[in-house]
Amino acid sequence: MHLLTPTLLTLTTLLTTTTLAQLQPTFTNTTREYNLRTCLKPDQPSYKDRFDNLWLYGYHTGAGLDDATFSDTKTEYAAKGYLSRVMNTTVMENNYQAFNLGSAFPYQMVMAENVNFYAAWQPVRIDAGLGSNQQGYTTGFSINSTGLQWTSTPGTNATNAFGGWLVCDWWHGEPQLFFRISYYDTPAPSSCADVDLIPEYI
């Protein structure tokens, strides 16, 4: 009897784990998805060409937490984005920039505006869930002829804090996404470039 107990426990654990995995809901997006690609803005030095035609990925930094980073190669792991309308809004540009990362739940772009107070740019994150996030803004996204846009003040006449997208060689050893604060006109350093984020529909 004592010899069978570990085997029965192992079998029970295996069956329970398998059953739970089968019961876990799978997240499915029903709208058209896209990968986001950088497009270098004009009138920048030629050595910044390395920031052109990069593909957006999530760089894992913790449970359900990612930094928005880039690779020059598009693989199946590139972030698959889509716009998800904020509930109970009539403002066209008030969407979540959501992502299907192949997990049981959606992820969203987070504009982490208070990482460094009074800084000319701030980091962008890709975190699990859709809705409010303590790290920053999650709503106000839209797409126009120059790609993904963000407004900090959707549907109002208040000053928009968004000054454009910035890609920098940063602490992950690969290009990382930031957003400019519109109140500052600080030139990008040599390790950064101003870009548009263009959706390439899948």
- Total domain count, the chain: 1
Separation CA 24–CA 136 (nearest Å)? 29
Tens of pLDDT, residues 81-102:
999 999 888 898 899 999 999 8
pLDDT of 7 over the 50 cut: no
- Quick check: is 113 in a domain? yes
For residue 57, the domain's CATH number is 2.80.10
- Quick check: is 132 in a domain? yes
- Quick check: is 78 in a domain? yes
Rg (CA), the chain: 20
Joined together, the tokens standing for residue 176 give 């990382």
How long is the chain? 202
- Quick check: is 52 in a domain? yes
Joined together, the tokens standing for residue 77 give 């792991």
Tens of pLDDT, residues 35-85:
999 999 999 999 999 999 999 999 999 999 999 999 999 999 999 999 999
The amino acid present at 196, given as its one-letter code, is: D
- Beta-carbon count within 10 A of 99 CB: 27
Q: Give the contacts of 173 (CB within 8 A, at least 6 positions apart).
A: none
**Strand pairing partners for 193?**
167
- Quick check: is 15 in a domain? no
Separation CA 74–CA 113 (nearest Å)? 28
- Quick check: is 150 in a domain? yes
Structural domain span for residue 75:
33-201
The pTM of the full predicted model, rounded to 2 decimals, is: 0.85
- Quick check: is 18 in a domain? no
- Quick check: is 14 in a domain? no
Tens of pLDDT, residues 118-175:
999 999 999 999 988 888 999 999 999 999 999 999 999 999 999 999 999 998 999 9
Joined together, the tokens standing for residue 38 give 């950088």
How far apart, in Å, are the Cα atoms of 169 and each of 15, 101, 136? 46, 23, 22
201's enclosing H/E stretch is: strand 192-201
Beta carbons of 34 and 148 less than 8 angstroms apart: no
How far apart, in Å, are the Cα atoms of 80 and each of 103, 108, 147? 12, 11, 15
